[in-house]
Amino acid sequence: MAKTNTKEVIEYLRNAGAAEEDIPILAMTAFYESTFDTLAKNKDTEAIGLFQINASSFYDGTKPDNTLRSFFGNEMLSVTEFEKKLEDPQYNTNFAIHYLNVIKKDLEDGSSQFPDVRRNNNDPFAQFEGYLDYVKPFIAGGKLAGRGEDEMKDITTGIGVYVDAFMDINKIVPSQPPTPPMPTETQPTLGMEMRAEGYADREMASLNRKYDGVDQSIIEFVAELGRQKAKLGDK
């Protein structure tokens, strides 16, 4: 297992030439494809790496298909060689973005040769299972299902990946609560202690409400943005 994180995934996506507006969707998709395990391998499909690329599906026997040939250029790799390269998270991301661009190019005439894309109103991200099962329901305002033993942690992490990536591409810097003043050397009376304690409790409650509200508004705003984008894509 070789874990990566949201910041590194955003960097991989930018290096691969991903469109900025696609980065939150793609980062969240990567999380639900591999849980950010760059060496993940699906025992059933043999899909590999960060975006869970099924190498053999891009070969006709031993010959690479058009998508793979255009990615390889002058370098021709066997299935085994391609699978080994896909263990590198940047290479895996490079191919995922190349594949997405091929799908988008194919849609320019209004139709798609890719079955999952056709079944989902020509949504180019639909070729990624993690997107269909988790990301698309989230941006459409649906309820996310959790995975594993700690489902709530999985859900909040997945949403957090999207929000962090959204804040990154929009240059949003989260505000920080003010640092509380250092205590003085004065010995307080009982009345002073009670007033100070009450004041501190009120201030902390106010701060908690303020920053909880900010966090929630960001999440609601991002989800609504995703829903609006999904609606535009359906037209």
pLDDT of 124: 96
The predicted pLDDT at position 143 comes to 87
Give 55: exposed, middle or buried? Use CB within 10 Å, 0-12, 13-18, 19+: buried
Most confident of 16-20, 216-220, 223-227: 16-20
pLDDT at residue 89 above 50? yes
Give the pLDDT confidence of 105-145 residue by residue, as tens digits: 999 998 899 999 999 999 999 999 999 999 999 999 998 98
| Secondary structure of residue 148 in the 3-state scheme | coil
Tens of pLDDT, residue by residue over 77-88, are 999 999 999 999
pLDDT in the model for residue 221: 54
d(CA 25, CA 166): 9
pTM here is 0.76
**In the chain, where are the structural domains located?**
6-173, 176-235
Q: What are phi and psi of 114, to 5 degrees?
A: -95, 120
Q: What is the pLDDT of residue 227?
A: 54
Tell how far CA 177 is from the center of its chain: 27
CATH code that applies to domain 6-173: 1.10.530
What is the H or E stretch that residue 228 is in? helix 190-234
How far, in Å, CA of 188 to CA of 207, rounded? 25
Is the pLDDT reported for residue 20 higher than 60? yes
